Amino acid sequence: MFGDMMGKLKEAQEKVAATKKRMDTVMVDEQSSDGLLNITLTANREIKKVAINDALLEDKEQLEDYLIVTLNKAIQKATAINEAEMAAAAKEGMPNIPGMDQLFGK
C-alpha cells in the first residue's frame, strides 16, 4: 500500500513537472487600453515580446506608466493560468488518501 502511494506521488510530481514545462509554451497577450503597448509572456511569466507604438516614445513617463500597468495585467493573467493548471495537475495525480477530499474540495 505504501509503495503504491509513493508511486502515485511520483506520478503526480511528474504531471506537475510536465505541466510546468507546458506553461512555457502557453502565451499570454496583454495590451494597453488604447493598443499602443502590447506585451506577450508565457504562463510561467517569462516576457517574450514587447511592442511599443512610436507615439509612446515621445514621453518617457507615459511609457513607464504604460509598461507598469500593462505588465502587471499580463503577469496577473499568466499567474491565474499557471496556478489553475498546476493545481489541476497536482489534484489529478494525488493518491486517494482518506481525508484528502476535504483539503482539495473534491
Q: Does residue 56 fall inside a structural domain?
A: yes
**Domain annotation covers residue 84:** yes
| This prediction's pTM | 0.75
pLDDT of residue 59: 95
What pLDDT is stored for residue 106 in this prediction?
Answer: 45
- Domain total of the chain: 1
Provide the CATH number for the domain around residue 81: 3.30.1310.10
Average pLDDT across each block of 10 residues of the chain; the chain has 106 residues. List them in order: 72 85 95 97 96 96 97 96 88 61 51
Asked whether 26 and 45 are in contact (CB, 8 A), the reply is no
Q: What range does the domain containing 91 cover?
A: 2-95
Q: Beta strands of the chain (E only): which ranges?
A: 27-31, 37-42, 47-52
The pLDDT value given to residue 1: 62
